[in-house]
Amino acid sequence: MSEVKKLNLNGLLLIDKERGPSSAEIVRQVSRLVVKKVRVGHAGTLDPDASGLLVLLLGPATKLSDFVMSLSKIYEAVVRFGIETDTYDATGKTLSEKDTSDLSSEKVESLLDEFRGTVRQVPPAFSAIKIQGKRSYEFARRGEMKELPERETVIYELKLLKFDSPEALFYVKCGKGMYLRTLAHDLGKRLGCGAHVKTLRRLAIGEFTPSVKVSDLTVENIKDFLVSPSRIFDEKKCFKLNFNGAMNLRRGIPLRAIDFIVRPLEPVGERTGVLDEEGNLIAVAVIGHGGSMLERKIVQPL
């Protein structure tokens, strides 16, 4: 009976990752709880030394990784000033140590505006970014520090929550591709003392927050913790089809006006979900002019 249940898995697991295991290790642990036919992936890694939300995708939901990764993310990070490391976190080799006796919360606060809004970052050499078919950290571990291209990202909110020199606690809400380790490193450079991330916890991705530790998952209860893929999208902006419309879409039959229950008119050009009349996500599409459905992609076939 459990085999049948496992074959129907489709959704998101909101894992509360502890410090230590890599994101790939968490994926492997969950994969052991499901049959081989069920794919398991993640929507954005967490460094092994980081904790907090790791979104896993199961079954057809693995097709939605890019959509989850495009959502905003919220972190809390403890930054240690005065020590610079090669990994930009506490696991790395110390490169320099400087005095922080004159460092104050006012000095830190005075620089934060430089790091808010659209910013440009150079990712850490110790990162999972691919270079010539290999992860950057593979080169870095061999002492080959490859220069990574600068990239643009967004920091929506950056708050200093607590300052107890030489450490500070920050709240950060950011967009895709923002590295907290680089933020800490760059802030340390601007202050002239160096810095690294001591601890990091991801609090949220979009509206998703951690709900279960991987150690608490079993073959019997894993389905209870699955979150519907439809929650990735704002329901108010989703297309909604009746029974016949959903069947026609899955079969590749052109849709008619009578197939729609809801047709969003805006924002034109935005990717959104396509729901059946029960609210299940069956496809993703782009909102066109006049509520037309463009670039549809089936994510839940018949």
The pLDDT of residue 140 is 64
Mean pLDDT for all residues in the chain: 92
**221 lies in the same domain as 238:** no
Length of the chain in terms of residues written: 302
**139 lies in the same domain as 116:** yes
Confidence bin at 300 (pLDDT 50/70/90): confident
> Taking the model in full, what pTM does it have?
0.90
pLDDT tens-digit map of 101-151: 999 999 999 999 999 999 999 888 766 777 777 776 666 676 767 777 789
**111 lies in the same domain as 181:** yes
**91 lies in the same domain as 155:** yes
CA distances, 301 to each of 35, 42, 252, 277 (Å):
19, 21, 11, 15
Q: In what order do the strands lie in the sheet with 293-298?
A: 260-262, 239-241, 271-275, 281-287, 293-298
**34 lies in the same domain as 66:** yes
The pLDDT of residue 5 is 46
pLDDT tens-digit map of 250-261: 999 999 999 999
- As a whole number of angstroms, the distance between CA 250 and CA 256 comes to 14
**191 lies in the same domain as 113:** yes
The answer to the question of residue 55 being in a domain is: yes
Annotated catalytic residue: which of 16, 47, 259, 276? Answer: 47
**31 lies in the same domain as 99:** no
**185 lies in the same domain as 83:** yes
The pLDDT of residue 122 is 85
The answer to the question of residue 214 being in a domain is: yes
The answer to the question of residue 284 being in a domain is: yes
Give the chain's domain count: 3
- Whole domain around residue 35: which residue ranges? 2-70+207-228
- As a whole number of angstroms, the distance between CA 93 and CA 78 comes to 18
Confidence bin at 4 (pLDDT 50/70/90): very low
Q: What is the DSSP string of the chain?
A: -HHHHHHT--EEEEEEEPSSS-HHHHHHHHHTTS-TTS-EEESS---TT-EEEEEEEEGGGGGGHHHHHTS-EEEEEEEEETEEESSSBTTS-EEEE---TT--HHHHHHHGGGGSEEEEEPPPSSS--EETTEEHHHHHHTT--PPPPPEEEEEEEEEEEEEETTEEEEEEEE-TT--HHHHHHHHHHHHTS-EEEEEEEEEEETTB---B-GGG--TTTGGGG-B-GGGGS-GGGSEEE-HHHHHHHHHTPPP-GGGEEE----STT-EEEEE-TTS-EEEEEEE-GGG-EEEEEESS--
- As a whole number of angstroms, the distance between CA 265 and CA 251 comes to 25
The answer to the question of residue 202 being in a domain is: no
The answer to the question of residue 168 being in a domain is: no
Confidence bin at 249 (pLDDT 50/70/90): very high
The answer to the question of residue 201 being in a domain is: no
Q: Any catalytic annotation for residue 234?
A: no
**191 lies in the same domain as 137:** yes
pLDDT tens-digit map of 152-172: 999 999 999 999 999 999 999
**35 lies in the same domain as 83:** no
The answer to the question of residue 165 being in a domain is: no
Confidence bin at 37 (pLDDT 50/70/90): confident
The answer to the question of residue 249 being in a domain is: yes
**86 lies in the same domain as 182:** yes
As a whole-number percent, the residues of the chain with pLDDT over 70 amount to 93
Q: What is the CATH number of the domain that holds 145?
A: 3.30.2350.10
**285 lies in the same domain as 271:** yes
Confidence bin at 175 (pLDDT 50/70/90): very high
